[in-house]
Amino acid sequence: MGDVIRANADVDEIFKDAREASTHSIARGGKIKERAEQGLGPVIAMVDAIDAELKTAKEVLAPLSAALIAENDQADATINRIYDDVWNDAGRPATDRYLALMFPGGAGYYTDGDTAGQPARMELLAKLFDRKLHPKLNAAQSEAYATRVRTAAKALQADIDAATEPAANLALLERVRTALGRVAQFELANLKRGFKIDGMSEAAIHDIIPDRPVAKKAYKKTEPPASPPATPPAQPT
């Protein structure tokens, strides 16, 4: 007996089988064509529409993602330069507890981690400069550093905002496409049931719907446990 493709198969493979079954059914005409058009027709049309939307969504997001990556690199470079500049202004000390308070773990505290949260982390650094925390920085220096941090954070946030909605749209379309794969698999199984009701043989059905036999697990023969060694007879004393 033949098998319809599994529901957990790759969606592209499911869509491939659905299109093939639709093409073969339409070629045969009559009731076979009618069943396929009723079940698979709307699903295939939706897949075509989603794929067109996905193509557009990827084209929209690509330059925005590239701009965001570049701006994130620029923001990281700014934070690293500021860290070095503050260290120089402080006299290039071997250890500096105030610098350690402002940059816990170094500049990486602000540059590492998720990009979406980086502007907020950078604002925290700007506020530390606002408080004039480091005694070796005068007011003008602290204000200048705070401005540099906020300018970089604002530019990064702008690119994050520009990419957020297109990225969410792409993610949603991909989820919809995955869900459509399950619908297409259901319609293939339903089409097979309909063909069987019409009296078609398994062979005839799978001339239309691709046969996807489930791989059988290899049988592993288990050996019986070894018998324990015989206990030698007791030696006479």
Q: Are 126 and 153 in contact (CB under 8 A)?
A: yes
DSSP state, residue 67: H
Q: What tens digit of pLDDT does each residue of 54-88 get?
A: 999 999 999 999 999 999 999 999 999 999 999 99
Q: Where are the domains of the chain?
A: 11-205
**pTM assigned to the model:** 0.79
Q: What tens digit of pLDDT does each residue of 41-57 get?
A: 999 999 999 999 999 99
Q: Are 207 and 28 in contact (CB under 8 A)?
A: no
CA distance 22 to 26: 6
Q: What tens digit of pLDDT does each residue of 89-125 get?
A: 999 999 999 999 999 989 999 999 899 999 999 999 9
Q: Which of 160, 143, 180, 138 is nearest to 49 (CA)?
A: 180
Q: Are 125 and 79 in contact (CB under 8 A)?
A: yes
